[in-house]
Amino acid sequence: MNVLDTSSSSSSSEEEELIMLRRPKIYRERKNHFQNYDDLDFFDRFRLTKRTVVSILNQIEPQIALPTNRGGCVKPMLQLLLTLRFYASGNMQISVADFIGISRPTACRIIKRVSTALASLTPRYIQMPATDAEMQRTAEEFYNIASFPRTTGAIDCTLVRIDSTGGNDAEIFRCRKDGVYGRYLLVGDSGYTIQKYLMTKLLETHTDAENLYNESIIRTRNTVERQYGVWKRRFPILKFGMRMKMENIMNIIAATAVLHNIVMK
């Protein structure tokens, strides 16, 4: 029994020693994916064209560029490509780290840094029509879909898969009530309550006019459902699941929405 105890203690000590040893820094080969892939292969892997990637980099480079080139720091373009690959593949961080040629901890820091920078572009690319001219133009575009009048937006919700963060704040939902009140409206499904600014489908219809109303509002509101589908197909990370802090998850959701709107423009 003593012999077994001694062996177990020795094995434990060896494991602790291995853990305490500092691993030598390894500089892996970093491939130039921007240059190595043609336009089609590049789009398949990063979900954006090279031209769009360059445009985005110009907007966030000051926020993600590191102050020094020492220690094999990762250039801004490579940081952006790594993050886009993470969004597009939905893989573990270690997989995208290997794809680029860096360590997993470095990849984790880069994804957080770039996602925060992209999320900061939200006011520029995610917004409701602000002026009367913008609202009128948007209302005309919605009217052309199914003749539903005075509509400036369609609202809905979608589920983004994440691992539970635990604790009292495991489920956090943010509701933004800012909007324009007046002659223009939003449209939603029957999960929402009818408001003076929000029209929804009727649960029961009894007249031809009510049937026509429902048909029109359903076709008009379907635009937002289609957008959610395109958004998630473009960035599968939204449906495959994320294992990280809630702050980082929220930035990734905002960042992918910004990227989606940039592409749609």
User: Tokens representing 239?
Assistant: 């449906």
Which pLDDT does position 182 carry in this prediction? 55
Which pLDDT does position 71 carry in this prediction? 57
User: Tokens representing 129?
Assistant: 């029509």
Which pLDDT does position 120 carry in this prediction? 97
Q: What region, left, alpha or beta, does residue 101 occupy, with left being phi > 0 and alpha being psi -120 to 50 degrees?
A: left
Which pLDDT does position 175 carry in this prediction? 33
Instruction: Give the residue among 157, 167, 165 at the shortest CA–CA distance from 242.
Output: 165
189-199: per-residue pLDDT in tens?
888 888 887 88
Residues of the chain with pLDDT under 50: 1-12, 18, 170-181
pTM of the predicted model over 0.85:
no
Which pLDDT does position 193 carry in this prediction? 84
Which pLDDT does position 32 carry in this prediction? 86
Instruction: Give the residue among 163, 135, 161 at the shortest CA–CA distance from 149.
Output: 135
Q: What is the DSSP string of the chain?
A: -HHHHHHHHHHHHHHHHHHHSPPPP-------HHHHS-HHHHHHHHSS-HHHHHHHHHHHHHHH--S--GGGPPPHHHHHHHHHHHHHH---HHHHHHHHTS-HHHHHHHHHHHHHHHHTTHHHHS----SHHHHHHHHHHHHHHH--TTEEEE-------B----STTSS----------SS-EEEE-TTSPPBTTEEE--S---SHHHHHHHHHHHHHHHHHHHHHHHHHHH-THHHH-B-S-HHHHHHHHHHHHHHHHHHH-
User: Tokens representing 114?
Assistant: 């770039």
Which pLDDT does position 168 carry in this prediction? 55
